[in-house]
Chain A
Amino acid sequence: MYQTTYHRASSVDEAVSLFAKGTESKFLAGGQTLLPVMKQRLASPSDVIDLGKIKELQGVELSGDVLTIKAGTTYFDIMQNADVKKAIPAIAHLTSVLGDPAVRYRGTIGGSIANNDPAADYPAALLALGATVKTNKRSIAAEDFFQGLFTTALEDGEIITAVSFPVPEKAGYEKMRHPASRFALTGVFVAKTKSGEVRVAATGASQSGVMRVPAIEAALKANWSPSAIDSVTISASNLLADIHGTAEYRANLVKVMAQRAVAAAG
């Protein structure tokens, strides 16, 4: 690790002002990506502003048909939370298969979506559920937030404060874990909103990051059942390929994981 200056912010406002003072500042949430990258000397922020102790970024609220998870809430706290389990159990399940126990104790939902790793689990949930990302400046629809590999709508110095999920009628998430990293080799989140809309998002599959899967959405809109997807064909072009999964395999996984997610959603 290169030398850096560490700051522990006690409020969002303080974090923003600390960020502005550094020449090349970075926000630190759970540190599950930033710290390994810094240790390998692949990142050299002048200042690291730790958001982990900011009270206003912690906690979960269920209000009517909206579940709000504050950005600094750890995966562990999310998967244990009674409101999450009650309102959107698929999110609790997604969180329980994310990384490993050490990652879940430290990592946060805000850190995950700000990083927008193409194989991260949360982006699929946000996109499929039509979530809204709240920042210290504005609200951004998930659709507009994720903009490709490791790219988001966030501006320099902008802090995610919370994610709001409309509570769906049904939702499910199934994932084939990457055998080494435990990211999603491919994961699919399916949701049926209370207004009857069907939204399906896949992570780990596309070369351009989390994506909607219109063909599966159409099939499920017509018939919400695993077998409805039987006849869908997913193209392997533009899908990721690496030593753990060919593009053809990932195309298969998009379909199979979607079927299993529907089965899990009930």
Chain B
Amino acid sequence: MGVEGIGARVVRKEDKRFITGKGRYVDDIKLLGMTHAHFIRSPHAHAKVKGIDSSAALKMPGVVAVLTGQQIVDDKVGNLICGWAITSKDGSPMKMGAWPAMAPETVRFVGQAVAVVIADSKNLARDAAEAVVVDYEELPAVADVHAAIKSGAPQLHPEAPGNQVYDWVIGDEGATDAAFAKAANVVKLDVTNNRLAPNAMEPRAAIADYDEAEEHFTLYTTSQNPHVARLVLSAFYNIAPEHKLRVIAPDVGGGFGSKIFIYPEEMVALWASKKVGRPVKWTGDRTEAFLTDAHGRDHVTHAEMAFDANNKITGLKVKTYANFGAYMSLFSSSVPTYLYATLLSGQYNIPAIHAEVVGVYTNTTPVDAYRGAGRPEASYLIERLMETAARQLNVDPAALRRSNFITQFPHQTPVIMAYDTGDFNASLDAAMKAIDYAGFAGRKAKAKTEGKLRGIGVSCYIEACGIAPSKAVGSLGAGVGLWESAEVRVNPVGTIEILTGSHSHGQGHETTFCQLVAERLGVPISQVSIVHGDTDKVQFGMGTYGSRSAAVGLTAILKAMEKMESKAKKIAAHALEASEGDIVIENGEFKVAGTDKAIAFPMVALAAYTAHNLPEGMEPGLKESAFYDPSNFTFPAGAYICELEVDPGTGKTSFVNFVAADDFGRLINPMIVEGQVHGGLVQGIGQALLEHAIYDASGQPVTASFMDYAMPRADDVPSFNLSHTTTLCPGNPLGIKGCGEAGAIGASAAVINAITDAIGKNNLEMPATPDRVWRTIHAA
């Protein structure tokens, strides 16, 4: 490892511009003649749109146009789609309700757009929007999954009778029933996985610019995956063919999944830009973010786990109702199915699993992937079940886990996943040592003398990241391939541009990706730049989500680097009159092994471009690209233990310690990895203690601002005690597993297990607010 190579704690290159206010986000971009869009959104959870009168608004100053849902339908802009096909247990396809970018006839959640005002300024657009009169006929609405599936419930979509998206199953029902029939003990649990609002720091924004002469669109947007956005806008939404549509995702201030998806606002901006002949900008405000950014989680689950007389798990049955909201967002169908139920084996040998997932429409904001996407729900369920089982079977929770750990790899679970490697005992050992698990009983007794209820909670999570390979996900219904592409451009002076299809919106790619180059060539990272987020620059890309950028995106860069290095070695060998096989790369030089003959890398690059003296038949230039399709998912795993105190007088939780022992395979930049874990843990703790996107029974959002929706603040969380145990991922040459989501996946169960341990009551839903904890303590 060099000072800037793999494993070095290199300070983030991109932070200089971010912390000095020089980042360039979509809202910072101003185009000549730019107009501003303000959306008119439904105040009702369910209503017919009887008419829209924009005559007064059109006479107001600076108003360019008022466009409606009927116009976007008339212009044949496609409906929004869900790109992962799921088949119900009866063989029928999932029921996708039509979702036009603006509603022409029916609105199905509060915040759904019915029209847009385009004006010379944001404020003028907003003024005029107040003069647009929308005639709604309110319809009965339903927000709760159980209410939505009852007979007689308000119906959202004619395509989906009973508000059912699908009824999907996985696993072997017969084998599972047989396991339960023979079980010595059965542990049952009902859990709700609370709905979350993602709340990236930067709200969504878009600028669309139509060039009439070239019939070409440029879209600046807050996207985690600009190429996928272009593909979908082109292939499904009829905006423009791909070569006539450039999508740029510049600096993006956080996504957590919510910026994977194509949203109505981008579609409307593109369409409107052509209609009004001027660029159209829309920047969402925080209220719009609460109302329209795809929410996360929202599962209601009943699960049962069977044990034999030796406390070995013999079976698992799960039934989950997943709230989809009013429409199927881009990848929503995959989240409670292939990203959830395939992880239900956790870290444990479970011979038989059967899971059923019912997707349900409600009059709420659509739900899709949010940091972890299905895996937090699976991990929370399994780890709450293990804790419940330990209490019921009267065994130590860590010991019960340990006696059921998978220890042989590869391991085929009954739910598709084949775990490649791992050492679950190692991470549990590290976490137990870090928190002094053995000394807990003494600490609990001491806390009791001080009037505090102390608890400890374990969570052993596993996740599947770097979702792949394309052929496998295609067979499960994915509408896209899940590989990554990269290009290495060496300039004639030896500086290097890495073009990647990954997209950084907080992950630090501009640093970590350079570290790979520094490691291989021995050049300083100041000689390397990372280019991403522009479909005109980068050949293609699948973007960043699912902790995939290091495992998949960086491996694609490695593959391109290998090709480039191979050519460079030929050039060096030719120049040094040596055999190609004798050339080694060290400290920025190409050397003949065992001699002092060497040529500096910039001279090799220059030789490639002057082309005065290249090997016979070699093309000039030094630029290579690669597409990398992994052979399997990666399986990050770890053990989290939380120790906390509950104040019995108020139900308030205070952290004492939180330890995380993660196995992410090889770390490129441990400092950045720690930052990712910190952020993930805070989101997991936020879900456990604070965050909840709530609707009342009529579908009105109750938590549409930070005055009501409790985001975790620095003083809500402890200082974390992190460590790593490492098994290298055999599926990619760098041995990387991914680290972006782990904290959010594993943390919430550790917190709830600790609180329920402290208060001696097992049933406690998230978020465990002081009120809820206090009432649980004092419940009969």
Contact = CB atoms under 8 A, between A and B. Distances in A.
Contact of A256 (B650, B689, B710, B716): B650
A181 B707 contact: yes
A31 interface: no
Contact of A180 (B649, B707, B770): B707
Contacts of A256: 649-650
A159 interface: no
Given A179-B710, A180-B707, A181-B707, A246 B771 contact: yes
B770 A176 contact: yes
Contacts of B708: 180-181, 243
Contacts of A248: 775
Contacts of A176: 650, 652, 770
B322 to A, nearest CB: 23
Contacts of B650: 176, 252-253, 256
A179 B716 CA distance: 9
Interface string A52-76: 0000000000000000000000000
B667 interface: no
B595 to A, nearest CB: 63
B774 interface: yes
B483 to A, nearest CB: 42
Question: Among B287, B649, B703, which residue has the most Cβ atoms of chain A within 10 A?
Answer: B649
Contacts of B503: none
A249 B702 contact: no
Nearest to A176: B650
A132 B215 CA distance: 71
A53 to B, nearest CB: 27
A152 to B, nearest CB: 22
Contacts of A185: 770
B775 A180 contact: no
B704 to A, nearest CB: 11
B131 to A, nearest CB: 13
A148 interface: no
Contacts of B82: none
Interface in B761-780: 769-771, 774-775
B706 A180 contact: yes
A243 to B, nearest CB: 6
B711 interface: yes
Nearest to B647: A256
Given A180-B706, A249-B774, A252-B774, A244 B711 contact: no
A245 B710 CA distance: 13
Interface residues of B, number: 27
B588 to A, nearest CB: 47
A265 B263 CA distance: 55
Contacts of B287: 40
Contacts of B710: 179-180, 244
Nearest to A252: B774
B775 A246 contact: yes
Contacts of B692: 243
A238 to B, nearest CB: 18
Interface in B679-723: 689-690, 692, 694, 702-703, 706-711, 713, 716
Contacts of A259: 649
B694 A179 contact: no
A176, A185, A243, most chain B CB atoms within 10 A: A243
Nearest to B703: A243
A205 to B, nearest CB: 13
Interface string B737-775: 000000000000000000000000000000001110011
A1 B775 CA distance: 42
Contacts of B770: 176, 179, 185, 245, 249
Interface string A251-266: 0110010010000000
Contacts of A244: 710, 769, 771
A248 B779 CA distance: 12
A42 B91 CA distance: 51
Contacts of A2: 127
Contacts of A243: 692, 694, 702-703, 708
Nearest to B707: A181
Interface in B65-99: none
A7 B587 CA distance: 65
Given A243-B702, A253-B650, A256-B649, A179 B690 contact: yes
B398 to A, nearest CB: 31
Interface in B258-274: none
B775 A249 contact: yes
Contacts of A179: 689-690, 710, 716, 769-770
B40 to A, nearest CB: 14
Interface of B: 123, 126-127, 287, 649-652, 689-690, 692, 694, 702-703, 706-711, 713, 716, 769-771, 774-775
16 contacts: A1-B123, A40-B287, A41-B126, A179-B716, A179-B770, A180-B710, A181-B708, A243-B702, A243-B703, A245-B769, A245-B770, A245-B771, A249-B651, A249-B770, A253-B650, A256-B650
Interface of A: 1-2, 40-41, 100, 176, 179-181, 185, 243-246, 248-249, 252-253, 256, 259
Given A181-B708, A243-B692, A259-B649, 19 more contacts: A1-B123, A40-B287, A176-B652, A179-B690, A179-B710, A181-B706, A181-B707, A243-B694, A243-B708, A244-B771, A245-B769, A245-B770, A246-B771, A246-B775, A248-B775, A249-B651, A249-B775, A252-B650, A256-B649
10 nearest A-B residue pairs (beta carbon) = A180-B710, A179-B710, A249-B771, A256-B649, A181-B707, A245-B771, A180-B708, A179-B690, A243-B694, A256-B650
